[in-house]
Amino acid sequence: MLKPIKKTENLPKKLTIKKVVNENYKTKTFFFNESIDINPGQFIMLWLPEIDEKPFTLSYKNPAALTAELKGNFTKELFKLKQGDNLFYRGPFGNGFTASEKKAVVIAGGMGLAGVSLLIESLKNPKIIFGVKQKKDLFFRERFKMDICTDDGGIGYKGFATEKLKQLLKHEKYDIIYACGPEIMMKTAFELAEKHKTKCQASLERFMFCGIGVCGSCACGNKLVCRDGPVFSSDDLREMKDFGKYAKLKSGKKASLQEYHSWRS
């Protein structure tokens, strides 16, 4: 009998928006009409025809949803979409987190919380530290029990999430630290993990063209964030010289993280 050959095709597939939820003044969750089989920490490439295509993690799986912050041209277009509108995705891509540890702490900064939402749901009672600039930047407060940190102390702990983590680790031993958020936060979390001889997994962000491990745009050291990552564990983070220091601009120019972030925002 003739059998179908194994295909690798990964072209954009249609998604229809079922519901849009306002999380805060600049953050929306877009629920879709179907579930997407994705592991925590993996990402999809979200395509808005004639605009652009960008990597996003999913914040819910069934039905699938993504949570985004209004930031640049792409999210400006995304935020115009309403219930019943279509958009497109490829993926999932990347490796994802390994969620097998017993006692875990998850540290998230800003939109990084959306990136670890599926992870949190797959862990057993993890400690969650969530840092934002101000109270108005918070989201998912009903969804997760979290230790909240704000830069201005408007609510919760006054100071960086990594300061809170530092205090926590002084008193308690954890098996693993999961980090997702600004790279400087992840770098500090990793250094704290090293100091306390605790394992760490961090989800990195770089500008991506292909998302599938060929173009080299998302290189961090000799690793590709799209395919070797986006989640890297301590052994990799230790070797990645660009982690916490450099990222490539769209042209491929290697820039300081500061320059990279001012271009991205």
Query: Cβ 136 to other proteins, closest distance in Å?
Result: 31
The residue (of 144 and 263) whose beta carbon lies closer to other proteins is 263
Bond preceding residue 4 cis, omega within 30 of 0: no
Q: Is 85 in the site for other proteins (CB under 8 A)?
A: no
Query: Cβ 81 to other proteins, closest distance in Å?
Result: 14
Distance in angstroms (rounded) separating the CA atoms of residues 90 and 49: 13
Which listed range, 3-11, 110-118, 137-145, 230-238, lies at the site for other proteins (CB under 8 A)? 3-11
Bond preceding residue 55 cis, omega within 30 of 0: no
Query: Cβ 30 to other proteins, closest distance in Å?
Result: 17
Among 8, 37, 84, 197, binds other proteins (CB under 8 A): 8
The residue (of 1 and 5) whose beta carbon lies closer to other proteins is 5
Q: Is 70 in the site for other proteins (CB under 8 A)?
A: no
Distance in angstroms (rounded) separating the CA atoms of residues 159 and 132: 9
Query: Cβ 233 to other proteins, closest distance in Å?
Result: 18
| Interface pattern 16-55 for other proteins (x via CB under 8 A) | -----------------------------x-x-xxxxxx-
| Interface pattern 113-152 for other proteins (x via CB under 8 A) | ----------------------------------------
CB 41 within 8 A of CB 97: yes
Distance in angstroms (rounded) separating the CA atoms of residues 168 and 162: 10
CB 246 within 8 A of CB 255: yes
Bridge-partner residues for 129, per DSSP? 107, 147
Distance in angstroms (rounded) separating the CA atoms of residues 35 and 42: 14
Write out the two tokens for 239: 């070797």
Which residues, 215 to 244, sit near other proteins by CB under 8 A? 215-217, 219, 221-222, 224
The residue (of 155 and 212) whose beta carbon lies closer to other proteins is 212
Bond preceding residue 12 cis, omega within 30 of 0: no
Distance in angstroms (rounded) separating the CA atoms of residues 27 and 253: 30
The residue (of 154 and 221) whose beta carbon lies closer to other proteins is 221
Find, among 49, 16, 48, 13, the residue nearest to 32 by Cα: 16
CB 247 within 8 A of CB 206: yes
Query: Cβ 61 to other proteins, closest distance in Å?
Result: 23
- Positions in the binding site for other proteins (CB under 8 A): 7-12, 14, 45, 47, 49-54, 86, 88, 90, 208-217, 219, 221-222, 224, 248-254
